[in-house]
Structure 1
Amino acid sequence: MGLPEERSRSGSGSGAREEAGARSPTRSWSPPPEVSRSAHVPSLQRYRELHRRSLEEPREFWGDIAKEFYWKTPCPGPFLQYNFDVTKGKIFIEWMKGATTNICYNVLDRIVHEKKLGDKVAFYWEGNEPEETTQITYRELLVQVCRFSNVLRKQGICKGDRVAIYMPMIPELVVAMLACARLGALHSIVFAGFSSESLCERILDSNCSLLITTDAFYRGEKLVNLKELADEALEKCQEKGFPVKCCIVVKHLGRAELVTGDSPSQSPPIKRPCPDVQGKPKEKPKHIRPQISWNEGVDLWWHELMQKAGDECEPEWCDAEDPLFILYTTQLEALFSPQGVLHTVGGYMLYVATTFKYVFDFHAEDVFWCTADIGWITGHSYVTYGPLANGATSVLFEGIPTYPDVSRLWNIVEKYKVTKFYTAPTAIRLLMKFGDEPVTKHSRASLQVLGTVGEPINPEAWLWYHRVVGAQRCPIVDTFWQTETGGHMLTPLPGAIPMKPGSATFPFFGVAPAILNESGEELEGEAEGYLVFKQPWPGIMRTVYGNHERFETTYFKKFPGYYVTGDGCRRDKDGYYWITGRIDDMLNVSGHLLSTAEVESALVEHKAVAEAAVVGHPHPVKGECLYCFVTLCDGHIFSPALTEELKKQIREKIGPIATPDYIQNAPGLPKTRSGKIMRRVLRKIAQNDHDLGDTSTVVDPSIITQLFSHRCLTIQ
């Protein structure tokens, strides 16, 4: 699937740049015929037929899909009931209320016993070090989940309880979350890169009665003493009057000493892991195992508990509208305390299973790899629940893209013959800086579909991803969705929908988008404004845990009758949707509304720019002007001449109104552990305001100091 009229040209060529930078690209990339021939949805016409039915007959459409799953009791009443209008009463969404099921049963027992796929690999685990590997089949995973479910039951965990999980990307993390689901307990997973204070806040907010964590782990060359952080969090909880009675600890870095035979006492990974674990540990000076503290009466070893647990555990049958998990989003971190998004059993199961199947065009022989951490919604939906519900084989990756070298991802793709690959634009832009060679030295012949998630992908990165990683033959599914939506909302289907670089294209089944103006009026045809959704889909969140009023205010109050995403969006003449960024990332310059994402895209199209972020800055005349942070590619030097080139490029791509007043050299950008740029912090830096608020989620705090020292003092 080559570039139109330029099949042999590099994506960095001028023609590609012109196409990438166009505000409304006229060209699109059609799905390759070989993908369409075998696709679940093989044509644009078929997509439109299915989408129309999903909106006009939602009960029948999702009811047919529900038949593929196991229900202990069927839905006794209305399949769907809801209210999106705050002026008409309480906001609520109910799918299949009264039907009973268990999501763990559906992603494991059903796959092993009904689908007869017990011996199929569920996960290839790839550790931080390339030689650290193992695999686990569906049958082995089911046994481990049943054992740990029995462990939790013995600790008093039952339906409705909340369990906090604070772990790196190891198989025990999947086991723990599925064991909670099997018992009807809610898991609240906290990303292992978060601070002890963040963990404490989340434990307190959801009233977790038990914590599951790990001794320590390496992230690249960095040692993270997770048990120490967990201890600090539990101490803070104690000080605030909420003692957590039990902490179960996986011996991860110390698992080598547990390998004494085939006894079930050893900590998973279930099969023998890497050579370092199979024999004598090969300690490297930089990979030291830390001494961990032990709190008698609170701390318990995972492997000791598992040794005593039985292999069978009857699942707890749950109502389709019973809560499944709580996941905290930082979307409103500048305004509120952490927001616990609550998802429920039945609707979430239907939606993530269906989006996984159709968006990635999943087939039985696929090897799927989503690089996201399970600590985020992408990992919940497309590392754990979505793939397992389809009986897929996935890669579970503990490491980072640049360790031990920048070809790590492509080495893994070649090693496991990955067919469907899903990652973030941040990772793509990071790896672009190192050129094509780290990618092309590894075979990517197995790849069939590429995907992006987390933020809008700028066209330049899209073109590089398509040309270099996908060898101009793999469709790219640029997915838009949120923690709150549970699964994909706007996305191409790889065999059906022509792609435009940077566009999330069209809505998924059951999704009815609209674009509103400030007055709440729906805009038709080509338009730009607020992105909203007009009716519920099964995966929508049901509430903010413990604060339904906040749920209603945040998502439904501004425009009654609609779910408000908080994102800006435009629709082009072909009906394609383009996410322009968070509404609070829209800038009003001299009365003109500008999208920061659009300006950032224009900046990174320049060959010298690896990454860019744009924020608003007060201006005495314009009201607001553009302050740009740019990170340069290796080999390029920041200079007044480059500044003028970048301004010229923005004027040409967007118009004179978008010419920035400030362009600052940025050695790096402050990002959260999930790769999101913290524009809140950048706004403070631009205004020389050192009152930054909570920066505990910043990966590298030293970048903030550097950015303050490089501030632009005068208009350029």
Structure 2
Amino acid sequence: MSMTIEPPTDESRLSENRTFAPDPTFAAQANVGADAYGAAAADPIGFWEEAARRLVWETPWSTALDWEPPARDETGELSVPRVRWFEGGRLNVAVNCVDRHVAAGRGDKVALHFEGEPGDRVTVTYRDLQRRVARAAHGLEALGVGPGDRVVVYLPVLIETVVVALACARIGAIHSLVFGGFSAEAVRFRLEDTGAKVLVTSDGQWRRGRAVEVKSAADDAAAGLPDLEHVLVVRRTGQQVDWTLGRDRWWHELVDAAPDVHEPRAFDAEHPLFIIYTSGTTGRPKGLVHTSGGYLAHASWAHWAHFDAKPDDVHWCTADLAWVTAHTYEIYGPLCNGLTQVIYEGTPDAPHRERHLEIIERYGVTVYYTAPTLIRTFMTWWGEEVPRTHDISSLRLLGTVGEAINPEAWMWFRRNHGRDSLPIVDTWWQSETGAAMIAPLPGATTLTPGSATVALPGIDAAVVDDEGDPVSAGRSGTLVVRRPWPGMARTVWGSPERYRDAYWARFAGRGEWGGYYVSGDSATVAPDGSIRILGRLDDVVNVSGHRLSTIEIESALVAHPAVGEAGVAGVAHPVTGHAVAAFVVLREAVDIDSLRARVAQEIGPVAKPAHVVVVPDLPKTRSGKIMRRLLVQLWEGDVLGDITSLQDPAAVDGVREAVARLRGGTETAVPAEHKENE
């Protein structure tokens, strides 16, 4: 093992000694080299202007950056920060993602390979996509939608989901995509908060081999809302649905019958493009507003740079289209760069657990971007043998997003998808940042398992202490961004003060630019400057005064050959404050005491789990985050709230039953697959 024990402080305890320098052959053809770091540091605004010139602008900008940091007035009141990128510039986002490729003679190039969960497949060229977006733009305009109007999209991963987002961008409407598994209450909140004029939904969606009706949830969400005028319904499963005359319209009747040519118009760079809601487990979700010019410049450049995007790539980002991951790396980034993409409607185990390998093989996927949670699931399902039964040799680059990836999961991914040679681009970013902030350049950056490495060129990220000063190497602190960047969210919809308080108030006035963006994540910096994310600041277990990172304990557990996945949470303890509770998915039978011993060996005795619960699966969001607070609630026996946003709501029952067995003294360490068949 390369993980070593550091002194028992409240700082990072695990270190990683394995490193992988860029392959010289890959580096020789890479889009971006090491010189980009120095060039961006010398002139960060000029760097982003050069990135923005990769787009098509109807009117060039006059001012690259106008930044007003948070500042206190004579009464002590803190102002709301204001930022504007590429002021005076005008462009159309849909033209940049679709029309310009057709105009350049690439209309016959495949834009989307769609694969539905039942096995239906559709290939869409850029010319076809242009026509589909034109029809949808006409359809929305026929419903009275215009610039600045809000459209909420409650759809699964379908061609229509991509099309309606681009159609909104084309006509200047603001879209807000909602995960198709959310509850009616969650959808209603977004409709009310945005004051949406139109809701786009479907009759149903395919989920683990069966057609799940959706329209009734949309009806519940839409009932009685004064601003909502129409519900536009995509026919996906053919189920019978209730219908409200005058309000409801079928997509195929309205959109498919519309003209396939639409004249676009340009909008200001700061014109809002979309609102995306944080999916936090507590409090009112925040509607983050992203604008057109700055967001697209950041998304397009970052995708091209850290994924080394090539014209012949087949890119697959496995995220649901409602998550920010997919906005940037499944809609706007890859389409702006003219790539071919795969989009898949279903779950990775429908109808069997090798579906992802089949899709990579079928379409010749070259860039595969997925969540650490799914990688750990594959480790549990497949071991080392199954990936070798499929030809996935088309892959040339891998990526991860969501939570920090455990070093052993990183190594498994490299061995089984990357032939022990492909670069893995581990990306750190958030809904608030718009696109990746910390990620390696695959032709220039030395890779370390479990680390997102260093900030991208043009981004100034740092780890600071409570006073805002940089921490020394190996010590943990708060991850901040010390300089504005183009993709940053401009505000919280309808609540600018909440934007100020959540992200800027803590370090207002600090640094050259007058304030730091506070990410809410904890991290450490290695001696070489690389950053390792430890998780959310509140995902910390405090045992007898020792602050322990959940991701470090999880990494120690996943490093055990018997463990496929692990979720760690702090549960109440009358003496130590917190006790470590570890929820593990096993790959094979194991003595539970050996898992505790592994953690004690790798981190220290204080981190040894007091409770180890063997579960068939962990509750995770569709974006791949382990719901640690949910684990605490299940351990404590609390009443749970809405769990419809989970990747698999049935995972909750599995955890609840495992906790009950453990408390009843009947738990034994049997493999996860055996439990599923009990």
TM-score normalised per structure 1: 0.87
Aligned partners of 1:228, 1:62: CA distance in 2, in Å?
Answer: 46
Quick check: 1:205 aligned with 2:158? no
Question: Residues 179 and 645 of structure 2 are in contact (CA less than 8 Å); yes or no, is this contact kept in structure 1?
Answer: no
**Equivalent residue for 2:64, pick from 60, 76, 79:** 79
Quick check: 1:253 aligned with 2:237? yes
**Equivalent residue for 1:388, pick from 331, 335, 338:** 335
**Equivalent residue for 1:661, pick from 607, 610, 614:** 610
Structure 1 residue 16 displacement after superposition: 7.1
Structure 1 residue 317 displacement after superposition: 1.7
Aligned partners of 2:114, 2:646: CA distance in 1, in Å?
Answer: 27
Structure 1 residue 309 displacement after superposition: 1.6
Structure 1 residue 457 displacement after superposition: 0.7
Q: Please identify, of 433-442 and 356-365, the stretch whose mean Cα deviation from structure 2 is larger.
A: 433-442
Deviations 1:617-669 (A, max 9, x none): 22233222212111212x426xxxx2211111011111112112222222322
Aligned partners of 2:531, 2:399: CA distance in 1, in Å?
Answer: 17
Quick check: 1:704 aligned with 2:652? yes
Quick check: 1:126 aligned with 2:110? no
Structure 1 residue 54 displacement after superposition: 2.0
Aligned partners of 1:89, 1:214: CA distance in 2, in Å?
Answer: 43
Quick check: 1:294 aligned with 2:253? no
Deviations 1:377-434 (A, max 9, x none): 0111101100011010111111221112211111111111111110111111111112
Report the equivalent of 2:346.
Answer: 399
Paired residue secondary structure (1:462): helix
Aligned partners of 2:267, 2:472: CA distance in 1, in Å?
Answer: 42
Report the equivalent of 1:170.
Answer: 158
Report the equivalent of 1:468.
Answer: 416
Aligned partners of 2:628, 2:93: CA distance in 1, in Å?
Answer: 37
Identify if the C-alpha distance between structure 1 residues 624 and 306 changes in structure 2 by more than 3 Å, giving closer, same or farther: closer
**Equivalent residue for 2:96, pick from 101, 106, 121:** 106
Question: Residues 555 and 565 of structure 1 are in contact (CA less than 8 Å); yes or no, is this contact kept in structure 2?
Answer: yes
Aligned partners of 1:65, 1:567: CA distance in 2, in Å?
Answer: 27
Structure 1 residue 166 displacement after superposition: 1.0
**Equivalent residue for 1:423, pick from 370, 373, 380:** 370
**Equivalent residue for 2:21, pick from 11, 22, 30:** 30
Identify if the C-alpha distance between structure 1 residues 134 and 71 changes in structure 2 by more than 3 Å, giving closer, same or farther: same
Q: Please identify, of 157-166 and 620-629, the stretch whose mean Cα deviation from structure 2 is larger.
A: 620-629
Aligned-pair Cα RMSD in Å: 2.0
Report the equivalent of 2:574.
Answer: 620
Structure 1 residue 682 displacement after superposition: 1.3
Structure 1 residue 71 displacement after superposition: 1.5
Quick check: 1:233 aligned with 2:182? no
Deviations 1:307-327 (A, max 9, x none): 442222222321111110001
Quick check: 1:161 aligned with 2:108? no
Identify if the C-alpha distance between structure 1 residues 129 and 702 changes in structure 2 by more than 3 Å, giving closer, same or farther: closer
The amino acid that maps onto 1:316 is R
Q: Please identify, of 322-331 and 576-585, the stretch whose mean Cα deviation from structure 2 is larger.
A: 322-331
The amino acid that maps onto 2:437 is M
Paired residue secondary structure (2:151): strand
Q: Please identify, of 584-593 and 158-167, the stretch whose mean Cα deviation from structure 2 is larger.
A: 584-593
Structure 1 residue 714 displacement after superposition: 10
Report the equivalent of 1:493.
Answer: 441
| Gaps in structure 2 of 5+ consecutive residues | 6-11, 73-77, 509-514, 668-678
| Gaps in structure 1 of 5+ consecutive residues | 1-14, 255-289
Paired residue secondary structure (1:93): strand
Question: Residues 61 and 87 of structure 2 are in contact (CA less than 8 Å); yes or no, is this contact kept in structure 1?
Answer: yes
Aligned partners of 1:705, 1:27: CA distance in 2, in Å?
Answer: 38
Quick check: 1:144 aligned with 2:93? no
The amino acid that maps onto 1:676 is K
Quick check: 1:69 aligned with 2:44? no
* Match runs of 1:611-690 below 5 Å: 611-633=565-587, 635-636=588-589, 642-688=591-637, 690=638
Quick check: 1:55 aligned with 2:69? no
Q: Please identify, of 451-460 and 312-321, the stretch whose mean Cα deviation from structure 2 is larger.
A: 312-321
Quick check: 1:580 aligned with 2:501? no
Aligned partners of 1:25, 1:351: CA distance in 2, in Å?
Answer: 31
Structure 1 residue 692 displacement after superposition: 2.9
Structure 1 residue 611 displacement after superposition: 1.2
The amino acid that maps onto 2:22 is P
Aligned partners of 1:60, 1:123: CA distance in 2, in Å?
Answer: 34
Report the equivalent of 1:536.
Answer: 484
Paired residue secondary structure (1:519): coil
Identify if the C-alpha distance between structure 1 residues 209 and 343 changes in structure 2 by more than 3 Å, giving closer, same or farther: same
Aligned partners of 2:645, 2:207: CA distance in 1, in Å?
Answer: 16
Report the equivalent of 2:288.
Answer: 341
Structure 1 residue 482 displacement after superposition: 0.5
Question: Residues 159 and 316 of structure 1 are in contact (CA less than 8 Å); yes or no, is this contact kept in structure 2?
Answer: no
Aligned partners of 1:539, 1:180: CA distance in 2, in Å?
Answer: 19
Identify if the C-alpha distance between structure 1 residues 714 and 91 changes in structure 2 by more than 3 Å, giving closer, same or farther: farther
Report the equivalent of 1:97.
Answer: 87
Question: Residues 589 and 625 of structure 1 are in contact (CA less than 8 Å); yes or no, is this contact kept in structure 2?
Answer: yes
Question: Residues 473 and 524 of structure 2 are in contact (CA less than 8 Å); yes or no, is this contact kept in structure 1?
Answer: no
Question: Residues 319 and 622 of structure 2 are in contact (CA less than 8 Å); yes or no, is this contact kept in structure 1?
Answer: no
The amino acid that maps onto 1:482 is Q
The amino acid that maps onto 1:180 is C
Count residues with an aligned counterpart. Answer: 646
The amino acid that maps onto 2:36 is L
Aligned partners of 1:579, 1:71: CA distance in 2, in Å?
Answer: 37
**Equivalent residue for 1:354, pick from 301, 305, 312:** 301
Paired residue secondary structure (2:39): helix
**Equivalent residue for 1:521, pick from 464, 469, 473:** 469
Structure 1 residue 86 displacement after superposition: 4.4
Structure 1 residue 243 displacement after superposition: 5.6
Structure 1 residue 614 displacement after superposition: 1.1
The amino acid that maps onto 2:37 is H
Structure 1 residue 694 displacement after superposition: 3.5
Aligned partners of 1:242, 1:541: CA distance in 2, in Å?
Answer: 28
TM-score normalised per structure 2: 0.92
Identify if the C-alpha distance between structure 1 residues 656 and 494 changes in structure 2 by more than 3 Å, giving closer, same or farther: same
Report the equivalent of 1:553.
Answer: 501
Identify if the C-alpha distance between structure 1 residues 525 and 18 changes in structure 2 by more than 3 Å, giving closer, same or farther: closer
